[in-house]
Structure 1
Amino acid sequence: MSVHDELTHAQRSLDELFRAVGRLEKQLGTAGLEMRRVRADANHLRESVALLRDAASAPTAPKRPDLLPMSDTPYDNSLWTDSDDEGLGARDRHAP
């Protein structure tokens, strides 16, 4: 089976689960902790299947960003005249 078929089958099963939970709520009431947990778990399953469906419909391979060529020529040293040597302190002072 394809992923689409499996997701459709899972959705049908979830629909049947929701019908069964609804029938149980009619018989047992909705106030009990157990019933609220079952309803919450069923809602989480519905959300998870929706996320799976979205992920399955998304393109499988993310688009690779365009690469930019980097020049091998050295930088202009005048760009660094106002900076300190990192980790060594300023030129006119001693490192601790």
Structure 2
Amino acid sequence: MSVYDELASAQRSLDELLRYVKRLEQQLGSGGLEMRRVRVDADRLRESLALLKEADPGLAKAKRPDLVSIPDTPYDNSLWTDSDDEGLGARDRHAP
């Protein structure tokens, strides 16, 4: 995987973790020491990942390369008029 893919995967996982922490806070309340600690740790992870992206300008601007679509239509035969059929010899000669 590329660095971009790894960062994107980490961000998705962190977003999911933050959703679960929010649900736990709703169920358990946010007043307890343990819950506050989990919230602070999750927030710190989010900040650390953001700092990691900002630390290297190449990472902050990293993006997937644009995909190139290849059409299903056949190629124009005039593209191949000046070449031999590879492995088959020239058109006007026969194989032994």
TM-score bin, normalised by smaller chain: 0.5 to 0.7
| Segments of 4+ moved more than 6 angstroms | none
> What is the RMSD computed on CA atoms of the aligned residues?
1.5
Other-structure match for 1:52: 52
Whole-Å separation in 1 of the counterparts to 2:20 and 2:51: 23
Other-structure match for 1:91: none
Deviation at residue 56 of structure 1 after TM alignment: 3.4
% of aligned pairs identical? 68
TM-score between the two structures when normalised by the length of structure 1 = 0.58
TM-score between the two structures when normalised by the length of structure 2 = 0.58
Query: What is the number of equivalent residue pairs in this alignment?
Result: 59
Other-structure match for 2:28: 28
1:5 is the counterpart of 2:5 = yes
Deviation at residue 58 of structure 1 after TM alignment: 4.4
Whole-Å separation in 1 of the counterparts to 2:13 and 2:35: 19
Structure showing greater radius of gyration is 1
Give matches, 1:55-74, under 5 Å.
55-58=55-58
Whole-Å separation in 2 of the counterparts to 1:30 and 1:42: 14
User: Which amino acid in 2 is paired with 1:53?
Assistant: K
- Aligned residues of 1:18 and 1:42 also touching (Cα < 8 A): yes
In structure 2, the gaps of 5 or more residues are 60-96
Whole-Å separation in 2 of the counterparts to 1:54 and 1:26: 32
Other-structure match for 2:41: 41
Give matches, 1:79-94, under 5 Å.
none
Deviations 1:27-68 (Å, cap 9, x if unpaired)?
100000000000000000001100111123348xxxxxxxxx
